[in-house]
Amino acid sequence: MQHFLSTQDWGTGQLGRLLDLATELKRNPVQDRLRGKSIALMFLNPSLRTRTSFELGMQQLGGIAIVLQPGKDAWGVEFKPGAVMDGDAEEHIAEVAGVLSRYCDLIALRAFPLFQDWQTDREDAVIRSLAQHASVPVINMETIVHPCQELALMQTLREHIGDVAGRKFVLTWTWHPRPLNTAVANSALTIATRFGMDVTLLCPEPAYRLDEQFETAARANAEESGGSFSITHDIEAAYRGADVVYAKSWGALPHYGDPKAEWALRSRYRHFMVDEEKMSMTNNALFSHCLPLRRNVKASDGVMDADYCVALDEAENRLHVQKALMCTLLGADGAEETKNG
């Protein structure tokens, strides 16, 4: 049994086969590969794309999706082992994982970090404790990484570019009124270096660098894949010659849990918004973003409405890659399965 907590736990070949299956499922979306199978989708945070694509995807494959929102329509959950549960949570992850494993064939969780202490949040303990207590495969729907988004991003680049190795991929920090999760940024670095791209992280200043564990992984990935990884604070150097511009806003980790101090820093960098002028410096780059995106804050209307913006393609690919992921985790990824469709 394999979980899908991070793409780093999976082999590059396995990821490639998963994307190939996604391509096949995109051509033939309604199949019976997962007839009678079920997935529990647990959301501790809001979602549009993730929920819609998982619910729809499972049902298009003949299965059943159950959406749960612990703390809202379900009971609050305790994640710490050994806790004396005298607080708000009525239920421990041991039981939640145990019960859902009895009911469902897959469990997926969205659990954003708590934005209080990065030293705690960087351990990703919530989804790890779910995986530890579950007896069925667990899927990460975004914690401190967003591996489903990685698959959709890479699938979209493959569709538009073909072989991505050696292409320049720029991950740019953007303006946003609040400090956000670093998950998609961590994930973008990880997957782009994995597939041999020349990856540049553009951020306003060192305080916006990503956690060491992800920068280290990106360097190791690049070494293995023949790509590269570098960091710059120079907007023009970053955009110049880019084949892909990928945008995301995130909070400065040194001020994690202190939005006021972070704001003092952040408020100087409104000009990091992606606009047509910046895009004109690139090598006719594609632009994408994981969505949701604040228009004219993270990227201008002109960029979002341009032909080179593939954010909707990436969002659509969430559906196809996640269907391939569910099939793979449940052993329904074989070619012979197609006949049942």
Interacting residue ranges for its own copies, rule: CB under 8 A:
29-30, 35-36, 38, 40, 43, 46-49, 51-53, 55-56, 59-60, 64, 66, 68-70, 72-75, 78, 82-86, 89-92, 94-96, 98-100, 102-104, 177, 291-297, 301, 304-305, 311-312, 315-316, 319
323 is annotated as contributing to ligand binding: no
75 is annotated as contributing to ligand binding: yes
Nearer to its own copies by Cβ, of 238 and 311: the residue is 311
- Cα distance between residue 338 and residue 92, in whole Å: 40
- Cα distance between residue 302 and residue 304, in whole Å: 6
Residue 251: CB minimum distance to its own copies, A? 15
69 is annotated as contributing to ligand binding: no
- Cα distance between residue 34 and residue 117, in whole Å: 40
Residue 181: CB minimum distance to its own copies, A? 12
- Contact between 183 and 210 (Cβ < 8 Å): no
Nearer to its own copies by Cβ, of 52 and 216: the residue is 52
309 is annotated as contributing to ligand binding: no
Residue 140: CB minimum distance to its own copies, A? 19
- Cα distance between residue 303 and residue 306, in whole Å: 5
Kindly list the strands in the beta sheet with 228-232, ordered across the sheet, starting from the edge strand earlier in the chain: 228-232, 198-202, 168-173, 244-248, 286-289
Residue 298: CB minimum distance to its own copies, A? 8
Block residue for tokens 């780093």 = 8
Q: Which of 340, 332, 337, 321 is nearest to 139 (CA)?
A: 321
Nearer to its own copies by Cβ, of 50 and 328: the residue is 50
Report residue 1 CA to chain centroid gap: 22
Record the tokens describing residue 264, joined without a space: 């003092």
Residue 189: CB minimum distance to its own copies, A? 23
Nearer to its own copies by Cβ, of 71 and 226: the residue is 71
Nearer to its own copies by Cβ, of 51 and 122: the residue is 51
Nearer to its own copies by Cβ, of 70 and 147: the residue is 70
- Cα distance between residue 215 and residue 9, in whole Å: 16
Report the SS3 class of residue 315.
helix
Residue 245: CB minimum distance to its own copies, A? 17
290 is annotated as contributing to ligand binding: yes
Report the SS3 class of residue 60.
helix
Annotated binding site: 47-50, 75, 110, 142, 146-149, 248, 290-291, 318
